[in-house]
Structure formats: C-alpha cells, structure tokens
C-alpha cells in the first residue's frame, strides 16, 4: 500500500517533526518506508528520516506492508497534513 504526501509545515521534516513521525511509525507492526526521489528509507529510523532533508513542498511516498499497513499510512499522512501541529 502506498500514498503520496506533501510536507506542508514551514520548517519541513526537521528534528521535532521527524522525531514525531518516527514515534508514530514505531507504533505500527507494518514495515513502513518513506521515499523521496530515488532514496528510500525506513520510516522508523530517525537518522533516515532526517537524512531525507524534506523541506516544505517536498512530495514523499509512504509505503507500508504488514497487518496494520492501512492504519499506519492513514496516521502518518494525517500527521503530515496537520503540519505536525506547528502552524
């Protein structure tokens, strides 16, 4: 299962939002990947998420496989859509 999301908060996926993203991803059993251009990282890895350097307007692809993949995609895309509560 996959879904495209766009980073909307001003500061992008920096330390605090990245940490929140990883914490949310870790709640799920599904294997969750985050893809930017040709880079694909484990969404449960803070180093990986920070390394994507996703600025505002960046389009990412969320991919999940496993028993709760749909719920994981939904929760993570809602988190991104809410601009991580920053604005």
Q: Which one from 11, 12, 14, 41 is the annotated catalytic residue?
A: 14
Please name the residue that has the structure tokens 């389009």: 59
- Is 69 catalytic? The answer is no
User: Which one-letter DSSP state was computed for residue 66?
Assistant: S
Listed residue (41, 38, 15, 27) closest to 76, CA to CA = 27
Q: Whole-angstrom Cα distance, residue 66 to residue 85?
A: 28
Just list the catalytic residues.
14
């Amino acid at each position: 299962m996959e879904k495209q999301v766009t980073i909307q908060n001003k500061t992008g996926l920096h330390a605090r939002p990245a940490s929140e993203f990883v914490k949310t991803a870790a709640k799920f059993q599904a294997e969750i990947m985050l893809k930017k251009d040709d880079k694909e990282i484990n969404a449960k890895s803070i180093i990986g998420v920070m390394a994507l350097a996703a600025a505002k307007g960046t389009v990412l692809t969320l991919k999940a496989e496993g028993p709760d993949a749909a719920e994981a995609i939904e929760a993570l895309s809602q988190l991104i859509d809410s601009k991580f509560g920053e604005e």
